[in-house]
Amino acid sequence: MKKLAVIIFSNPIFFGVGFVLLFLRFSNLFSSDDEGSRIPFNEKGSTLTEAQALSRADVLHQAMKNPGTKENEIYETLRVLSKPDFAKVYRLFGARIYNTWLGVTGGVAAGDANRDLIYWLNNELNAEEKRELSRLNPELELF
């Protein structure tokens, strides 16, 4: 074990790779990435109760929080929402911990940050999936 540690710490390649990985991991601590922290409409006219909107927010979180985003759950949840309904779901989703390195929830790593629903959607869906969501519910105009 001691021999392995000597090899790792004395080899500049291992040291350089480690430095780059640490830099990438913690670089978002100093960024002002505010992508998605806006909602272009309000809740007035929403037909959802607080409980219904929170339930939908939790369904979206469950669909995105682990590796392997469940796109169909996202589509089914968002396809039927009006702008006011989405605004209420957005508010109740709030800002949840998002690991920008792994794309999953975390909480233990210092680089994790609280992010809003639009940020989550932008990072969990690829361009084709965003187009599909826009096709299913063009009223939302999220992307």
For each of the chain's 143 residues, which pLDDT tens digit applies? 566 555 556 666 655 555 544 444 444 444 444 444 556 678 999 999 999 999 999 999 999 998 889 999 999 999 999 999 999 999 999 999 887 666 555 555 545 789 999 999 999 999 999 999 999 999 998 88
Residue 141 lies in a domain: no
Residue 142 lies in a domain: no
Same domain, residue pair 26 and 71: no
CB 91 within 8 A of CB 43: yes
Residue 12's domain comprises 1-31
Tell me, what's the pLDDT at 11? 66
Same domain, residue pair 43 and 83: yes
Same domain, residue pair 66 and 46: yes
CB 126 within 8 A of CB 91: no
What's the domain count of the chain? Answer: 2
DSSP state for residue 66 in the 8-state scheme = S
CB 92 within 8 A of CB 57: yes
Residues written for the chain: 143
Q: In angstroms, rounded to a whole number, what is the distance separating the alpha carbons of residues 35 and 138?
A: 20
First to last CA, the chain: 51
Q: In angstroms, rounded to a whole number, what is the distance separating the alpha carbons of residues 41 and 75?
A: 20
Same domain, residue pair 27 and 39: no
